[in-house]
Structure 1
Amino acid sequence: MGAFTGLWRWRHNSLRRTTDLVEAWVACVAFLLLVLGAPATGLWAGLRADDGLQHAARAQQAERRPVTARVVRVAEPSGQALQSPDAADEQRLRTAVVARWPAPDGSPRSGTVHSLDRDPEPGETFRIWTDAEGRAVPAPMRAGTARAHALFAGLFAASAVAVAAETARRTVVRGLIRRRYAELDLEWAGTGPDWGRAGTGC
């Protein structure tokens, strides 16, 4: 990691240039961002994401309830489902069926849902999740799933800070190197006319 190697430029010696000191400070800031900033940002982002996702999970668990649906018939595949890779994967794992189920107020509902049975027969029953209006919805998010998503969010945030710090350090160092070469060219240009006449002062 370049942030560590840049710290040596703080050493006192007669050859140290201003750009060396600047590079040392840049390396120090990058190092602090890596060891303190990135973990702190990841922790903060993870906690915020976990709080929001846990709230959403609790809301879903409170609003959604499982009901028993009864198969009416196997649904005809739609053209959109055949064209969508995600829908095609789901179709291989589940079977779309037209089913009936009761709403919370007891009124009948029907629609196209997916059954885990590969060959469902009319009259078979299976469980689905519905909202307060009786519409079929995905299963509510679990607390463990929400926590896992929050963990990934925290890791992503920490990685983003680390990558940004290293990218900024490299960008600054490249600029400093170009400046060093420019200063060296100027010094070399001033020294060149004295070649072969060392000590003449001309």
Structure 2
Amino acid sequence: MRAIRGLWRWRRNPLRRTTDLVEAWVALVTLVLIAVAAPVLGSVVGAAAQGALQRSVRQQHHERHLVTATVVRRLGGGTPVETDPDVAGVRDSRSRVLADWTAPDGSHRHGPVLTTLKSPHRGDHFDVWTDQHGLMTARPLDSATASTHAVLAGFGAALLAAGLVEGARRMIVWRMVRRRYARWDQAWERAGPDWGKAGTGS
């Protein structure tokens, strides 16, 4: 908003200083960069993030597999459990069981895992994500979530660019004001000794 008000300094005015005109130009450049360059940068960053994340989605879906595990018995809370890193925060809402499953490469696996079954019993089946060799892994990223992250990355980049441009404008104007005050102080120092004396300036 201040950048727009800075354009008002272009108006014809006998009291307009050179610094006022410079400040108006700085305001115009800032406005153009925020209105044009920031959205363009956000779009470029978002597109790049979208491409990288979608490649990651494809790779994860290729490398991770959903297999069916069978409950052998329920475990107590003290047994180490192979867990999905993405759901570590909700570990307490899951049941710990000893289970058997077959890896995508055909090997048989046996070990403690977490299950969403509320009351697991021997022989119950549930799904787990594993790698090619049957080791527990995180759920693969889905395409919609990847797109959301890409949009947020682009939006964040645009906001950051706009903030940096506005910050640079404020810094330039601040330095100009300081120089203006310094010149006023020098002028007052020169006029100070004779200020108010009869005949001053004549």
Short-chain TM bin = 0.7 to 0.9
- What letter matches 1:139 in structure 2? R
Structure 1 length-normalised TM: 0.85
- What letter matches 1:168 in structure 2? A
Structure 1 residues 53 and 169, CA gap change in structure 2 (3 angstroms): same
Find the counterpart in structure 1 of residue 184 from structure 2: 184
Structure 1 residues 80 and 97, CA gap change in structure 2 (3 angstroms): closer
How big is each residue's C-alpha offset from its partner over 1:55-79, in whole Å with a ceiling of 9 and x where there is no partner?
1111112222211011233444469
Contact 2:105 2:132 in 1 (8 A): no
Pairing 1:136-151 to 2, within 5 Å after superposition = 136-151=136-151
Q: Secondary structure at the residue paired with 1:181?
A: helix
How big is each residue's C-alpha offset from its partner over 1:144-174, in whole Å with a ceiling of 9 and x where there is no partner?
1110010111111011101111111111111
- What letter matches 1:29 in structure 2? V
Counterpart-to-counterpart distance in 2, 1:62 and 1:47 = 23
Pairing 1:1-202 to 2, within 5 Å after superposition = 1-77=1-77, 89-196=89-196, 200-202=200-202
> Which sections of structure 1, spanning at least 5 residues, go unmatched?
none
Give the % identical residues.
47
Displacement of 1:197 in angstroms is 5.0
CA RMSD of aligned residues (A): 2.5
> Which sections of structure 2, spanning at least 5 residues, go unmatched?
none
Structure 1 residues 184 and 60, CA gap change in structure 2 (3 angstroms): same
User: Alignment length, in residue pairs?
Assistant: 198
More off after superposition, 186-195 vs 19-28: 186-195
